[in-house]
Amino acid sequence: MDDPLAQARAFFLAGLDAYEAGRLADADRQFTAALALAPGRPSVLTNLGAVRLKLGRHAEALALLREALAQEPDNAEALGHCAAALAERGEPTEALALFDRALALQPARAALWTLRGSVLNELGRAPEAAASFQQALEQGGDAELNAYYLAGLSRLPPPPGAPRHYVESLFDGYAHEFDAHLVQALRYDAPRRLTQRLARAGRRYRQALDLGCGTGLCGPFLRELAGSVTGIDLSRNMLDRAQALGAYATLLQADVTEYLAAAPEGFDLVIAADVFIYVGALEQVFRHVSRVLPPGGTFCFSLEESQDGAELALRSSLRYAHSEGYVRRLALDNGLHLDAIERAPVREEQRQPIPGLFMWLSKA
């Protein structure tokens, strides 16, 4: 095949196939090859930008999508992806303007109504956000996801947990910026706080289980406390970052509750730093942790503390908060003893501390 445009088309079509199949790295290679043979082609720029957006490479995605829009200002696909990239980069006002432009061109695109609602929620415009999520539902959007978003904006009973695909995509896109943003910008310190108390006790654990390990912020601390550390997370991109630390003997992509249901016994330390804010209801977690822990085993975790007395609440931030009474009840029901509790901020949000609970339990 000697015709460069024909070659570019072949790479482009291969990229579309890879993208549809979820092979993002392959899609990136194919679209990059197509762009090299057909520089400036808006369709290639748009699709390569969409791939890099999914890969969490937001600045690169934005540059590609803006180049596409410079040639085709009314390209609804490019407008939608560009808006999403701006939202990911913390530019909600600019993102909202592009979502509105895209939806003026294609008002039936349910996914854009959902993303627009998220941006409006971030801007503190809750009634408009709720209307956007409702519009997404009316256009056939993801019922579970939009109902979850709406629950965070209402006083209705919350769903028992966040949609799995929401959590997975959230952290896949967040992986590359996670450590710097969480630790530096949000003053997150849960891994150190949770493990510091254990270290002071001088105990050595045989096997530690890090639930929702993310990029592995707990890993180096746990490696000092345990002979072997296993990490569980839904996000493949997060696990790739954790792998590079070398602190984990095993890393598995799995839902926390589903993994615990089938986990082998023998973990004498189970830790969950800032994880239950996405798990929601904790009945199954406590039951399974109690099963895997031997007598004397340790279970420690952090929570956002519910401020209105509710055992379980879904906040407009789309994170769950739990009450101390709820945790005490679950501990009692599952043969776990509350050894210590501390109240301290779990992180900051818009420079305001988020009240948190840090709890250390042991198996009776």
pLDDT band at 140 (very low <50, low <70, confident <90, very high): very high
Q: Which two tokens stand for residue 343?
A: 């109240």
103 and 226 fall within a common domain: no
Closest CA to 194 of 341, 63, 313: 341
pLDDT per residue over 261-316, tens digit each? 999 888 999 999 999 999 999 999 999 999 999 999 999 999 999 987 789 999 98
244 and 109 fall within a common domain: no
Supply the mean pLDDT for the chain.
Answer: 92
CATH code assigned at 70: 1.25.40.10
Measured CA to CA, the distance from residue 162 to residue 318 in angstroms comes to 8
**Could you tell me if residue 222 is inside a domain?**
yes
**Could you tell me if residue 166 is inside a domain?**
no
For position 291, what pLDDT does the model report? 96
In one-letter notation, the amino acid at residue 87 is A
Measured CA to CA, the distance from residue 256 to residue 275 in angstroms comes to 9
Q: Are 330 and 283 in contact (CB under 8 A)?
A: yes
pLDDT band at 155 (very low <50, low <70, confident <90, very high): confident
189 and 105 fall within a common domain: no
Q: Residue 180: is its pLDDT beyond 60? A: no
335 and 236 fall within a common domain: yes
Which stretches within 38-91 are classed as H helix? 42-54, 58-71, 76-88
Measured CA to CA, the distance from residue 76 to residue 83 in angstroms comes to 10
User: Which string of DSSP letters, residue by residue, matches 168-202?
Assistant: HHHHHHHGGGHHIIIIIIS---HHHHHHHHHHHHT
155 and 222 fall within a common domain: no
- 88-104 b/e with 16+ CB inside 10 Å = b? beeebeebbebbebbbe
**How many Cβ atoms are within 10 Å of 222's Cβ, its own excluded?**
26
pLDDT band at 240 (very low <50, low <70, confident <90, very high): very high
CATH code assigned at 241: 3.40.50.150
Q: Are 92 and 122 in contact (CB under 8 A)?
A: yes
**Could you tell me if residue 168 is inside a domain?**
no
215 and 257 fall within a common domain: yes
**Could you tell me if residue 165 is inside a domain?**
no
139 and 239 fall within a common domain: no
For position 316, what pLDDT does the model report? 87
Distances (CA, A) of 323 to 42, 135, 199, 212, 358: 51, 33, 27, 21, 12
The partner residues of 211 in beta bridges, in order of sequence, read 232
Q: Are 310 and 340 in contact (CB under 8 A)?
A: no
Domain that holds residue 186: 173-363
Which of 160, 194, 216 is at the close of a domain? Answer: 160
Count of domains forming the chain: 2
pLDDT band at 342 (very low <50, low <70, confident <90, very high): very high
Phi, psi of 254 (to 5 degrees): -165, 155
46 and 143 fall within a common domain: yes
In one-letter notation, the amino acid at residue 202 is G
37 and 143 fall within a common domain: yes
For position 269, what pLDDT does the model report? 98
Instruction: Mention every residue, 6+ apart, whose C-beta is less than 8 A from residue 11.
Output: 30, 31, 33, 34, 37
User: Which string of DSSP letters, residue by residue, matches 219-288?
Assistant: HHHHHTTEEEEEEEES-HHHHHHHHTT---SEEEE--HHHHHHHPPS--SEEEESS-HHHH---HHHHHH
pLDDT per residue over 343-354, tens digit each? 999 988 777 889
Q: Residue 157: is its pLDDT beyond 90? A: no
Which of 160, 189, 217 is at the close of a domain? Answer: 160
Q: Residue 169: is its pLDDT beyond 90? A: no
